[in-house]
Structure formats: C-alpha cells, structure tokens
Amino acid sequence: MREKDQNVCPHCQIGRLHLRLLTYVHVYNGTLVSVPNTPAWECDFCHTTDYDNNALMRIEALVGQAGPPPNRHRPRPKPELRNKHRAYSVEN
Ligand SMILES: [Zn+2]
C-alpha cells in the first residue's frame, strides 16, 4: 500500500507521476535561461508538471553563483534599413 502511494500526484491525488525530460525555461534578471533535458514529474491525470527539486537546485546554484549568462543578443536593423537611416549621417 505504501509503495503504491509513492508516486501519487500531490495535486489531484488520483494520477501517477512519471519522470519526463523537459526544457526548463526561466528568466533571470531579464535573461532568458533555457535548460534542456531537465527532469520533471508529470501527472498522467491532471498533467501538472513539477520540475525535479534536485535539478532546480542545481540550476539555481549554477545561475546564482555567477549570475545569469551574459545576454549577447543585440538586435540589429536589417541592412537596407540601416543604410536608409545612415544615408545622411557621417560617422566619426
Ligand atoms: Zn494530478
């Protein structure tokens, strides 16, 4: 009886939890961090998904230690737009 109750979903008390590998996505200080293959428990009845606590702690420790990875994305205007905007500007 006790072993059977081990993986019962804590949200609906009906379904069973199954281990899945999902992509954990979270925004840390404005930087989107995406962690593929993060272990998560998904209920086969209500489909509530809880990420594995140990995995979350590892991610938080990694991100918390050095802060979020630098956000190097700098949106650039399309070349034709840039030329249009700079047609009459002199650099330096
Ligand atoms: Zn459930």
Q: Where are the domains of the chain?
A: 4-86
Domain 4-86 CATH assignment equals 3.30.70: no
Confidence of residue 56 (pLDDT cuts 50, 70, 90): very high
Read off the pLDDT of each residue in 73-81 and give the average, rounded to a whole number: 70
CA of 39 to the centre of ligand 1 (A): 17
Which range is least confidently modeled, 12-16, 58-62, 67-71?
67-71
Query: Tokens for 14?
Result: 């009906």
Quick one: 28 exposed, middle or buried, by C-beta within 10 A (0-12, 13-18, 19+)? middle
CA of 32 to the centre of ligand 1 (A): 28
Tell me how far apart the alpha carbons of residues 20 and 74 are, in angstroms, rounded to a whole number. 34
User: Side-chain half-sphere of 30: how many Cα atoms within 13 Å?
Assistant: 4
pLDDT at 64: 77
Read off the pLDDT of each residue in 31-40 and give the average, rounded to a whole number: 92
Handedness of CA 2, 9, 54, 36 (dihedral sign): positive
